[in-house]
Structure 1
Amino acid sequence: MSDTPTLLGQRAEAFFVLAVAGWTDGAGFLLFAGIFVSFMSGDTTQLAAALSVLKLAHATTYLLPAVVFVFGAMLGRLLQSEATSNGNTFVFGLTSALLFAAALLGSGASRFPALLCALVAMGMLNAPLHEVNRVPVGTMVTGALVRLGQALADRLQRRPGNIADNAGQWLFFVTGAVAGCTTAHALGAVAFLFPAIGSALLIPARLRSQRQAPLNKGGHDHHD
């Protein structure tokens, strides 16, 4: 039994997930002194800059996030596979728990445990979403901007181009990031409570789509 939502539900879920990722990334960037917890391209560039001037100790600051993020992505994929029909729901639940932990731990003397929780959560959050309406979805939006430019070129040449989904991914991430930075300025690590709640809100939507799956299956699998 699949817990995959309809195309409309997939699009709404993708945009909501990107807002959650943007919120977490914006708050994390401020609270963790310029370390990204979702935008790994940023950490990778900072790693390269540190290596270029042989600041090896400083480089580990930006290598660790990539390693932990990859671990989170691996964990999310494993949980999604092992939990069968409830895999995505379980991933959203654990992501929410990790972000709640980041909110609590981030107020302590050391924010390192909170950083680890946020990184694992953002890596995991990529597991439930792979593609919506033939457009790849992930918590990093560079690809969305590339595809947006390509879609605009296609439209100018009177060919089909998916502008809405790609622009929407970027817009929702940025909106979430603005909210994350604003709440981090005002509330500190408590800012992580909001994306934690957001991840938890995705659980009932997934459960509802799972209950509706037998009604929509109609004897054969249907993919949007």
Structure 2
Amino acid sequence: MVDSLPRSRLAIAVLLAVLAGYIDGIAFIYLGGYFVSFMSGNTTQSGVELAGGDLAAAGFGFAVIVAFVVGVMAGTAIRSPRRDRSWLLLLAVAAITAVGAALASAAPVDPNAVTGSALLGVAPTAVCLALGMGAVNTVFSGRGGPSFGITYMTGALVKIGEGIVGALRGGDRTGWLRYLALWLAIAVGAIGGAISYAAFGTAALWYAAIFAGGIAAVSSRVRASRGSAPA
């Protein structure tokens, strides 16, 4: 879990949370209310659309969910049980995010008009971004170490609440702060994504791809400094 991560890995987790929030903030606006990392939200949204008879919107949401799961599968396949390949996984995330950015730039849309059949125009971008976010959630999986999903913020909030009560009862006074850092990171990322989208439109996704590449470089450097230990 997060409270057992060394500081170097915690720093990478925080950076990835910022990245996820940034991309999801952009996607939420660009896709007219759908997410690429928050699948609980998409499940609810799709269920509501299905109940309302909008099969296209419901199908879009479920397609994004499937893409996310496929991204998790791909990330798991890239990772090795014997060697740390976080840097390679993050390079793949950077690449698929860049593809999503290119697709979005080639087909800009009015977020207010992204409904029903119009969702088909943004579907390729949504799929690419969801694939990347699914893969991001596998960075801290496997190799026998602490395992958790970067974008599982509901779980992080639960840990914050539990940690505060534990601290008041005389337990660990600071462990919950790590979960707070992750929640703040994804919130800051979402704010940054919304601001960037307002300023640059879909071109803001290129910054996400560059940022993901930078995190890959940091992960590789940390891994090298720790020898064979995961970064």
TM tier, smaller = 0.7 to 0.9
**1:130/1:138 contact within 8 Å kept:** no
1:181 aligns with 2:197: no
**1:135/1:166 contact within 8 Å kept:** no
1:103 to 101, 106, 126: 101
3-state SS of 1:199 partner = helix
2:83 to 61, 65, 85: 85
1:158 aligns with 2:170: yes
Q: Which residue type is aligned with residue 159 of structure 2?
A: R
Match of 1:142 in 2: 154
3-state SS of 2:187 partner = helix
**1:21/1:122 contact within 8 Å kept:** yes
**1:102/1:189 contact within 8 Å kept:** no
- Residues 119-167 of structure 1 show CA distances to partners (whole Å, capped at 9, x for unaligned) of 1111111111249x96834223111111101111111211225221110
CA distance in 2, matches of 1:174, 1:199: 17
TM-score (norm 2): 0.83
CA distance in 2, matches of 1:10, 1:170: 16
CA distance in 2, matches of 1:14, 1:27: 20
Following superposition, the deviation at residue 101 of structure 1 comes to 1.5
Structure 2: runs of 5+ lacking an equivalent: 108-120
Q: State the aligned residue count.
A: 210
1:116 to 104, 127, 152: 127
Match of 2:38 in 1: 39
Q: Which residue type is aligned with residue 80 of structure 2?
A: S
Match of 1:21 in 2: 20
**1:135/1:165 contact within 8 Å kept:** no
Q: Which moved more, 1:47-56 or 1:69-78?
A: 47-56
3-state SS of 1:159 partner = coil
Q: Which moved more, 1:205-214 or 1:41-50?
A: 205-214
Q: Which moved more, 1:73-82 or 1:171-180?
A: 73-82
CA distance in 1, matches of 2:12, 2:170: 30
Q: Which moved more, 1:91-100 or 1:109-118?
A: 109-118
3-state SS of 2:170 partner = coil
Alpha-carbon RMSD across the aligned residues, in angstroms, is 2.3
TM-score (norm 1): 0.85
Q: Which residue type is aligned with residue 169 of structure 2?
A: Q
CA distance in 1, matches of 2:59, 2:96: 23
